[in-house]
């Protein structure tokens, strides 16, 4: 329904939350296809950096309700500049870290 009238911008708030990886991949493929076919912009809100990495040209990382870093996707993953972004990337499970303990992000955000 959100794309029925061919919007110039789609705002997708956690479109893949609680989906298994197969359905998640199908949803992301559909979003990318719709975006490409319609020439539509996309703002994707997600807590999953791997989802953002698959569909975003640029990523903005928020902490305590503020943007603390924004960069091209490859730059953010290869050279994160903010300590919170580095913590997020270290705390994300991956096959490369199989058997390793995840690094927690200590503290709590102050608003």
> Is residue 73's pLDDT more than 90?
yes
Taking CA 28 as the corner, what is the angle to CA 92 and CA 60, rounded to the nearest 5 degrees? Answer: 55
pTM score: 0.78
- Write down how long the chain is: 111
Q: pLDDT-based confidence at 19, cuts 50/70/90?
A: very high
Question: Percentage of the chain with pLDDT > 90?
Answer: 53
- Please report where in the chains the tokens 């955000």 appear, as a residue: 109
Alpha helices in 16-59 (DSSP H): 21-38, 49-55
Whole-number Cα distances in Å, 41 to 1, 27, 34, 48, 58: 16, 16, 10, 20, 12
């Amino acid at each position: 329904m959100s794309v029925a009238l061919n919007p110039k911008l789609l705002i997708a708030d956690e479109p893949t939350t609680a989906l298994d990886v197969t359905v998640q991949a199908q949803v992301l493929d559909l979003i990318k296809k719709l975006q490409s076919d319609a020439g539509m912009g996309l703002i994707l809100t997600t807590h999953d950096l791997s989802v953002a990495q698959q569909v975003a040209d640029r990523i903005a990382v928020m902490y305590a309700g503020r943007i603390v870093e924004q960069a091209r996707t490859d730059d953010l993953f290869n050279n994160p500049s903010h300590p919170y972004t580095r913590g997020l990337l270290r705390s994300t499970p991956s096959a490369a870290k199989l058997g390793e303990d995840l690094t927690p992000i200590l503290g709590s955000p102050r608003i």
